[in-house]
Amino acid sequence: MTLTLTHSHFNKSISAIGGQMRLKGRVRILPLVQMSRSAASLSTQNQMNPETKMFSFQSFTISLTLLAAGLILLSSAVPLPSEDPVMDNSSDRQNGSTFLYFAYGSNLLKERLQLKNPSATIYCVAKLKDYKLVFGNHKGLASQRWHGGVATIEHSPGDEVWGVVWRMNMSDLESLDRQENVKMGTYSPVEVNVSTSRQDLSCRTYIMNSCVYAPPSPQYLQVIVMGAEQNGLPEDYQEKLRSIETNKYEGPLPVMEELEKALKKPKKERTEEIQSDD
């Protein structure tokens, strides 16, 4: 009993299967190439012998066995690609080594946040629904560092606040709380659900206690706008930020001088810390 299986047909089958076995854009076809060469060798031998121009049933069975073995090895070695690369870090959050922080104020700017929290890395841009961005001071006590109101959020149905979700090590949690003056009662940490085009995320953020509205200084608003531009927040939201009225403060602001110096330094040299109300 013989079955007709030409060399060209066998190679086309091998190529079609090999073309589907991919790992991050790289085709894993080494075992299939080896099998193809074996099949080619068998086919050549048969062609050289005019009396045997077909594969014998035994040769065909061996080829199929090799092909099946190669496919099993490939299927076990090639994982399915992730449809959402943002979720690649979920295991770190599940084991408690990292957390997600939603920033909407001066911590939109990467360099600003990393001065005190070096582990912070960009996770995604997201929006918080049914909240709005406002500026003020805790109990009306003016910020001596920013000379004006600082950012907070408050519930407002139908509005939305855009921001950046940062992934941070748990080792920076105390530092972040200290930056937000949690122990002094200025801000309280809360969990909020923010959304992207692909998913909803539960993040840590901060809301000011006993906020008394006050306009921000031009310098403080500038830091927020820089962060929005840096991370590609929606253009209409950036325009909204730029249109916010400031208190037109023109005096010295040491915190801005520190930040400007830090922005000019290589990352490894950014050892200075900036303390602020936000």
> pTM here?
0.65
Confirm whether residue 103 is marked as ligand binding: yes
- pLDDT for residue 9 is more than 70: no
User: Distance between CA atoms of 207 and 190, rounded to whole angstroms?
Assistant: 7
Which of 51, 111, 154, 180 does the annotation list as catalytic?
180
Q: For 22-56, how does the pLDDT look when each residue is reduced to its tens digit (9 = 90+)?
A: 333 333 333 433 444 444 444 444 454 544 444 44
- pLDDT for residue 10 is more than 60: no
Q: For 145-155, how does the pLDDT look when each residue is reduced to its tens digit (9 = 90+)?
A: 899 999 999 99
Residue type at 153? I
Quick one: pLDDT at residue 262? Answer: 78
Confirm whether residue 105 is marked as ligand binding: yes
Burial 49-77 (b: 16+ CB within 10 A, else e): eeeeeebeeebbeebeebbeebbeebeee
Quick one: pLDDT at residue 263? Answer: 86
Confirm whether residue 135 is marked as ligand binding: no
More confident residue, 258 or 42: 258
More confident residue, 61 or 204: 204
Confirm whether residue 102 is marked as ligand binding: yes
Quick one: pLDDT at residue 144? Answer: 82
Quick one: pLDDT at residue 177? Answer: 98
Quick one: pLDDT at residue 93? Answer: 60
Q: What would the DSSP string read from start to end of the chain?
A: -B----HHHHHHHHHHHHHH-EETTEE--HHHHHHHHHHHHHHHHHHHSTT--S-BHHHHHHHHHHHHHHHHHHHHH-PPPPS-GGGGGHHHHHTTSEEEEEE-SGGGSHHHHHTT-TT-EEEEEEEEEEEEEEEEEETT---TTTSS-EEEEEEEEEEEEEEEEEEEEGGGHHHHHHHTTTTTTSEEEEEEEEE-SS-EEEEEEEEESSEEE-PPPHHHHHHHHHHHHHTT--HHHHHHHHT-------S--HHHHHHHHHHHS-GGG---------
All structural domains of the chain, each given as residue ranges with its CATH number in brackets, are: 7-77 (no CATH), 86-269 (3.10.490.10)
Confirm whether residue 104 is marked as ligand binding: yes
83 flagged as catalytic? no
Q: For 193-251, how does the pLDDT look when each residue is reduced to its tens digit (9 = 90+)?
A: 999 999 999 999 999 999 999 999 999 999 999 999 999 999 999 999 999 999 999 99
Average confidence (pLDDT) over 165-190: 97
Confirm whether residue 106 is marked as ligand binding: yes
More confident residue, 11 or 138: 138
